[in-house]
Chain A
Amino acid sequence: FESNEYSSVDSLTLKKAHSGLTGFILEGGKRKADPILMRGVLSDYIKNTSNIDYFIEKYTKVSKELFAYLSTTGFNFPHIVDVNWRLSFHMKSQNLEKENKPLYLVRFDTKKPSPTPLQNDKTSPVEFTCNGWELLDLVQKLKDAAKQFDRVNA
Chain B
Amino acid sequence: MVVVLTDEHKADLALLRELPPAALAEFAKIAVEFLRNGPNPKIYSGAAQKLEVSPSDVKGAVEALSFVFAECAKSNITELDFLDTLLVLAFPQEINEGLKNMYEKYKKEIRSILAELSFGLPHYDNISWRLDVQVASRTLNKQVEPIFTIKLETLEPEPRVQYLQTDIVNLKHIVAELERGLQEMKSAHCRRIIRNVK
Contacts and interface: CB of A to CB of B under 8 A. Distances in A.
Given A89-B193, A95-B114, A95-B118, A106 B178 contact: yes
A82 B148 CA distance: 15
How many interface residues does chain B have, given as a range?
A: 35 or more
Contacts of B152: 126, 128
Q: Per DSSP, are chain B's interface residues mostly helix, strand or loop, or mixed?
A: mixed
Contact of B194 (A97, A102, A106, A142): A102
Contacts of B127: 137-138, 141-142
B194 A128 contact: no
Nearest to A80: B166
Interface residues of A, number: 55
A96 B112 CA distance: 9
A94 interface: yes
Interface of A: 26, 29-32, 67, 70-71, 73-74, 76-83, 85, 87, 89, 91, 93-98, 100, 102, 104-106, 108, 110, 126-130, 132, 134-139, 141-143, 145-146, 148-149, 152
Interface of B: 74-76, 111, 114-115, 117-118, 121-124, 127-129, 131, 137-143, 145-146, 148-150, 152, 154, 162-168, 170-175, 177-179, 181-182, 184-185, 190, 193-194, 197-198
A126 B174 contact: no
B123 A87 contact: no
A97 B124 contact: no
Contacts of A148: 131
B8 to A, nearest CB: 22
A73 B167 CA distance: 16
A126 B156 CA distance: 12
